Structure 1
Amino acid sequence: MTDEAFKREVKTLYVAEAEDGIRLDRWFRRRWPHLSNIQVQKMARSGQIRVDGARIKPEGRLTAGAAVRVPPIPDAVVRAPGEHQALSPADVAFAKSLVIYEDDLVIALNKPWGLAVQGGTKTTRHVDRLLSAWGEGMERPRLVHRLDRDTSGVLLLGKGPEAAKRLAGAFARRQAKKTYWALVIGLPKPTAGQIDLPLKKTGINDFEIMRPADAKEHGAEPAETAYALISHAGQRASWLALRPFTGRTHQLRAHMKAIGHPILGDTKYGDAVSAELSGPLKLQLHARRIELDHPSGGKLIVEAPLSPEMRAGFQHFGFEEAEADADPFAGVRRMR
């Protein structure tokens, strides 16, 4: 298929877990910043855009796992450099080097620190673009959830629309058991527990941040996280396992800051004390493990090796991977 033919193709994309509740028009603008509000409104009102087969208004809210019919998107007048170019052999090799598991229906990548999952106005190199390494059209894998740019670890892809729908549905129904590893400042007391604290998004673009909010506050979203201590370096720093039961933007980073133990290397949610302790360390947050139902049946369990950035943190504080249990949250359930 030529590049021009692919641009004209109608595509089906799936709403990521972290995008649950987002407005349709904003969902489109995040992916195609060059689109005007009028263009999105016209496509929605004419029925070109559909969600799970039904019409939707531009201001309609999307749910995680929903299938969005995306009509051919008009090109921007001024394109970001390299955004529409074919992948180079080096890009293809890099994409394939990230694979830690692959079968007929699923691909699991070990996403590196600093690589965005999806593109934006100033982001031309991202996972979504690299998926062309597997082909286009029906051959192209689908994203089913997201990780922050500076979070490393397991990122799942669905091969084909049906596999992607089933995987995304598992995330949307909170059936995926996700375990993150994080290095934080200080030693939490108690050393294990659950955080039930709504979060609200404030600011825009690079200045967007999640802050604690009252459950009744307009725009506040429920957010729940379990944590468990794995090891600690005296009172200075701790290695925690984190399990999000909800999928809010920056949830783990905002929750750890809220309880007074920001994640090391976090320039957005950290403070002066954590910045001093972090030194040159990058964000110490790693999506270590995902367990969920495989689209064809049975269980899918994938673990991602530590990134170089996380390994630097482990070496600095003297932590060893062997100290961790496979699932530190065995038997732990949501509070509600």
Structure 2
Amino acid sequence: MHDRGISILEKYDLEASAASRGRGALICQTGQGLVLIREYYGSTRKLEYQAKLLEKISGQKEIHVDTLKRNKEENYITVDKENIPYLVKNWYDGKECDTQSRKDIMRSVKALASLHKTMQMPVWEHYVRESLLSEYERHNRELRKIKKFIFQKHQKNEFERCYLEHADRYLCCAEEAFKRISQSSYDRLRTVSLERGCVCHGAFHQHNILMWDSETAVVNFDNWNYDVQMADLYQFMRKILEKHGWDKELGKEMIQSYCEIRPLIKEERENLAVRFAYPEKFWKLANYYYTHNKVWIPKKNLEKLKKLISQYEKWLEFVESINTLEK
């Protein structure tokens, strides 16, 4: 985004005294504090729901969020002279969660638990997340399809050879996870979650968690959706644990920290355990390979695949340890 985005601040009765670039955005110091300006091309209706969600969270005052600002015409979206739509959000001068800091990790998990206690809204069907049963079934079909595709290739590159060598054991784990969730209480848990209007952040990771002093802010709710809230906790834990070699004690501490704020019921513990049993990262790498240029495989993707495979035994040990959550 170009600095000309600053010009829209006049439609908010704001003036920037300083500006710096953030992640695809512009952060400005104004008389009303820090604001963030960024382009927006999403749904206007979803944005209205998002604004209501953020207002509800900010009213609890436990966790800071990047509430949306209305312009002088009471709109959230402001179009500049070049017809580029922008959002303006309240922002915070904090550092991102350090994924190597246990203190930061636990603060983040507790912030998520506080959010989950608050994030409930009347359900808008268009933004209900796909059932995990449907998702796993679809992913498993894709894994089998990709395996067959690579197997039939006469000349295979290093990524393809590596993938094919380990595909069977990951596919076996994927099918077992699907079987487990099919026989679990997931359907009932999902039904109850939707009846209550439970909302997930949708992208709860270190880049969307800001910290300063004893305060924490969670930002960038663009991917919010209605779902079982264990989806957020699982995604954050998986990303952290991959970086820490599937440290069982760290995983246990993260769950305990979450439960200090929002205790988990038996069905949620069961659901969290099943999510960890599914080889999601393996599917993601396979899906990226299949849907992108297969002639040239990014070196980074091969490195990710090799790292994933090297952690296979540690991952299985973690899955086995977290299965006790179901009991």
- Aligning the two structures, in what range does the TM-score lie when normalised by the shorter sequence? under 0.3
Q: Which has the larger radius of gyration?
A: 2
**Richer in helix (by share):** 2
TM-score (ref. length: structure 1): 0.27
**Richer in strand (by share):** 1
